[in-house]
Amino acid sequence: MSQGGPLLQWRVEACSAGCDTANSYNATSSCLPPGPFCVNLEDRFQDASKLVEKSKWNGDPNSAYWTSDFEPNNAKIENGHMVLSMNLDQNKLQEGKRQGFGATVSSTRLMLYGNVSASIKSGSSSVGVVSSFITKNEQGDEIDYEWTDKVDQVQTNYYWNGQLDYTHSSTEDFNDDLTSGYHLYEIQWMPDAIHWVVDGVVRRTVTRDSTFNETEKNYRFPARPSYIQLSIWDAAQIGSSWTDSWSGGRIDWNDPNRKFAMEFEWIKINCLDPVKDTAWPPVGYEKLSANNNTESNGQGNDTTPIQNYTGYSSKSSVVVPIALAGGLFGGMVIIGYALSALARRKRGAKVDPSAVNPEMERQMVEAA
């Protein structure tokens, strides 16, 4: 890791907050931030082996870029695309009604500031279908793009420390069906501002200064390392009248073969402070293995740690793997320091990542 920049500053702030360097290695109390940290990446999905099932992943971020977090696995790389699918869940019912089972894909590396962009075709072609492209961490920070039943709209949102401030959501309108063609979506996440950019046009900006809370004297701005996460899920899974309304209603599953798909042509990550040494595990640490079970509440929100991952421990003390349940939008397992310390195009047009500028209420409640 570079010796300066936001990562070093983050470590210093963690120490000044009273972390226990000798006995703790988790993301909230350790002077060592969670990892593995960001590496610049442009993935055009030519290598299917870079997406692995979470339960089969060896824990090495160099072996895969992405994990498909839940079983059955509804994510795949084929024909130069990553495809996340949702179909009828034959085994689970919500309030006596049928529901879908989707997919959640997470990056294997964390990002703290930078630009993440993707060419995306939304999968939300019906009421009740939610697609998302977000950054997320275990502390409850998020930066979101979300698509629901309005095919000509995308919602932007952000969260800090898991607090559900319903005023943060914003809706962007387009004169296009976002489910029928690819568009370029960017999250430009800097220490002083977040920009949501669609097809080269800045659609929304939130500055760090604007998030200052006078009562608590703090900035409620996402400023901790996060994973990039992609998902498609059935809003009916929550069993909430609010989510039904937000997503436009319930999906009609009378056709058991009905299927929805969110597609990605490419994803590009430009880290503000990329790591220079990508060796895994880091020098001075020895590998350790953990075998746990992965369970899902049916929409892609996991309830237990992942299976068969390989973390590491220091030679002088044991590092405990940290695994927390993900949130509403296809929550993901976040591995703490045990794994080392997210111009309008015509419909269907290809978008070149070289043109990228480097620079809802949604987590209202977890399903029971």
Q: Can you tell me which residue has the tokens 């309030």?
A: 95
Q: Which CATH class is domain 34-355?
A: mainly beta
Bridge partner list, 355 = none
Token pair 């990508």 in the structure block, residue: 278
Q: From CA 207, how far away is CA 211, in angstroms rounded?
A: 7
Model confidence pLDDT, tens digit, residues 99-135:
999 999 999 999 999 999 999 999 999 999 999 999 9
Categorize the per-residue pLDDT at 287 as very low, low, confident or very high, splitting at 50, 70 and 90: low
Please confirm, yes or no, whether 13 is among the known catalytic residues.
no
Q: Residue 307's beta-bridge partner residues? A: none
Give the Cα separation of 32 and 282 in Å (integer): 13
Give the tens place of pLDDT for each residue, 313-322.
333 333 333 2
User: Of 13-22, 38-47, 278-287, where does mean pLDDT reach its minimum?
Assistant: 13-22
- Determine which one of 42, 71, 78, 146 is catalytic: 146
Q: CA-based angle 267:265:260, to the nearest 5?
A: 110
Token code pair at residue 275: 């790591």
Strand partners, 83: 76, 263
Residue 146 is among the residues annotated as catalytic for this protein: yes
Which listed residue (142, 186, 263, 265) is catalytic? 142
The 3-state secondary structure of 286-328 reads: EEEEECCCCCECCCCCECCCCCCEEEEEECCCCCCCCEECCCC
pLDDT score recorded for residue 197: 99
pLDDT at residue number 279:
83
> Residue ranges of the domains in the chain?
34-355
